A and B are shown apart, each in its own frame.
Chain A
Amino acid sequence: MIRGARSIAGSLAAVAAAALLSSCARPAPAPPGSNAIGYVDMTLLVQKHPLYDQLARYDRSLEAFDLSQTVPQAGVPDAELRRREAELERELHDAADRTQKLLDQKQQQYQTQEQQAIAAALRGAGFGGPSAAQIAGSVTSTAQQQQSTVATQVQHDYNSYRETLQSQDRAQMIAAQKALAARADRTYRAQAEQLQAKESALSLQLASADAPTRLALKTKLSSLALDDATREDAQKQLQDLDRKEADQVAAMRNRDQQTLAALQTQLKAQVQRDLDTQIASISKRSLTSLAQRQKTLAAQITPFSANAVGTKGQVNPSLPAPLRARIQQLHDDYQKRFQSDAKTTIADFQKTREDLSRRYAELHGIDAGADSGAQAQIADLKRKRDDLYGEITGQIDREVKLIAQQRGISVVLSDVVAPAGGVDLTPDALKDIESLHQ
């Protein structure tokens, strides 16, 4: 594990260098020379260090990320999102079909209206058939019926669109709430870990500073020839030392608890504010979309109603010129209206599709944002973990250097695979490290 931590901390180039440089030519073995070489079990020493609990906490947090992202680790989209997306596609497809039917229906209606209008024009000019009043009445009735059918269909589509938007809004709000809560949780945890690390560091710092005094007192207490008064005094000094350290750490812990409580309140308020803003933004967008949609649909119905009467027909060359011109004008007029109507209907559905796709893309964006947040958290945890590991091994290295000096050992290695000789400095280093706990 320790080797792993050190190796991972190294750069890629360093790892590659180790692999490639290690293939240098090697000679036959030979007997040793004259000096001492030592080694330490760094894994064991790290485990006995006062800050190891903090390190283990980081490891557990990292393990938690590993476990929550169990294999396969590929970025599989959320099943619920995929289902909703498919549902949306299906819904839009159905709406497109309905639009096409509506257009066919409209085309038929425009043709009928045009024919009726032309017939009326012909009759008005004295070319036979029902009277102009009769035709006008019939045309109005047909137009009202057509308007009613189209309006019902349009209203149905509008309702469907509104329901879809509401459903998307709910999903977006839930996703936003989740993402904001996760962000607040991360901030809180990060702060808690940071404060905890500082508490551990203070504890260690105090213990290190008092280590010589403590050692001297303990040495004194271990003397058999100590009189009662002196022994009592030494014990009292030792207790005072412990109390002083404990008080300082406890004071810091109290302050930290207050800081954390304040942070929690602040984060809650922040989450609520952000959520309110996001909800307002989502609602506003939806309302705007709905209003636009309503406006378009209203525009779609109104001109249809207002222009229900028209003319159509093959222009007979034997008809008088003014009548031919009137019939041609009616035909052009209806053609134009139909094309405009059709274009509006199609554009409207395209807009609906684009709008809903965009909403889904935003949903995915929130999801991806949460993922990248987790990645950032992992990177941050790893960095903190490496920093702490560096601090721990740095202190162990310093202790080992002192021991090596005292014992006249020139070279000390860690992480050896198997010591066949050499001096094991681990027990001495352990004693020093453990004294930091006291």
Chain B
Amino acid sequence: MENLITRGRLAALAFAVGTAVLATTAVGATDVTDIGTLDQSVLGSIPAFQSANRQLQQYGATLQKQYLARAQHASQADQQKLASEFQAKMSDKQRALVGPLMQKAQIAVASVASSKNLSVVLDKRMVVVGGQNITGNVRDLLTGIGDPVPPVSTPPPSHVGFVDQQQIDATPKVKAASDDFVQFKAQQDKIFGDKLKSAHTDADRDAVLKDYRKTLDDRQNATLKPVIDQTRSAIADVARSKGLVLVVDRADIIYGGTDITSDVTAKLK
């Protein structure tokens, strides 16, 4: 199931990596004191989250067993349907178990960010240098007595923009290119899987895997790269027109930021 999820996100990941290399030498004159960071793994270690995660893992293990039992004699198409069905069940359970905690955490982040006048809070993993780390404040609010109080004001305007990668992936051109690649990859997986079976030495296996990687890279460059370039250019244009300095993926934004997804998708049509 995890593999299906991972493969589903493949195009998005490739896209994100590709778009990260847009070169520019312009120096942004930006107020960087209003950027906050949050280490989400610390929040994950709060007992309430750990308990919810344990329950979720147990549920996942049960689902996995059920999936294997049902998928054992199913066709490939049916297995994919089953995988979607079980994935949806898992998401529902996640919402039910973790949702209320997340809501509370969301209010805590907004409250701390507002008190520190932050315009955006980013996932700590993407911040190499700087930013105000608000993890401790948020954790204290979440583990303290009583529920955190939502801030009165909305976040101030931010010079950090973001796009919803999933929405951009769903635009016709990007989707066609990623579907093509995913299909190609599935074919190659089978071909190289067979080759791997007949490779007897480490050197043979290594050669097969290198060939596999090269085949995928070549195809990616041929089909995905032109679309990636086009999309990257559209994102950069929209960002510049709105006076933004950087654009990140929505998944990295925890609070605030400027959403330019709709402008980008409109430009891509």
Contact = CB atoms under 8 A, between A and B. Distances in A.
A43 interface: yes
B224 interface: no
A88 B180 CA distance: 47
A412 B67 CA distance: 43
B190 A420 contact: no
B163 interface: yes
A25 B68 contact: no
Given A13-B44, A32-B243, A418-B239, A25 B155 contact: yes
Contacts of A4: 6, 9, 13
Contacts, number: 310
B158 A12 contact: no
A315 interface: no
Nearest to B109: A21
Contact of B98 (A13, A35, A73): A13
Interface string A136-177: 000000000000000000000000000000000000000000
Interface string B121-165: 011011111110000000000000000000000111111011101
A41 B20 contact: yes
Interface stretch (A110-118, A269-277, A403-411): A403-411
B197 A11 contact: no
B232 A418 contact: yes
Interface in A17-76: 17-44, 60, 63-64, 66-68, 70-76
A17 B1 CA distance: 21
Contact of A416 (B20, B31, B156, B240): B20
A423 interface: yes
Contacts of B50: 13
A212 interface: no
A25 B109 CA distance: 12
A401 interface: yes
B130 to A, nearest CB: 4
Interface residues of A, number: 76
Contacts of A422: 24, 26-28, 30, 245-246
Given A3-B16, A26-B257, A418-B239, A17 B127 contact: no
Interface of B: 3, 6, 9, 13-14, 16-17, 19-35, 40-41, 43-44, 49-50, 52-53, 56-57, 67-68, 71-74, 76, 79, 94, 98-99, 102-103, 105-106, 109-110, 119, 122-123, 125-131, 154-159, 161-163, 165, 186, 189-190, 192-193, 196-197, 205-206, 209-210, 212-213, 232, 235-236, 239-240, 242-260
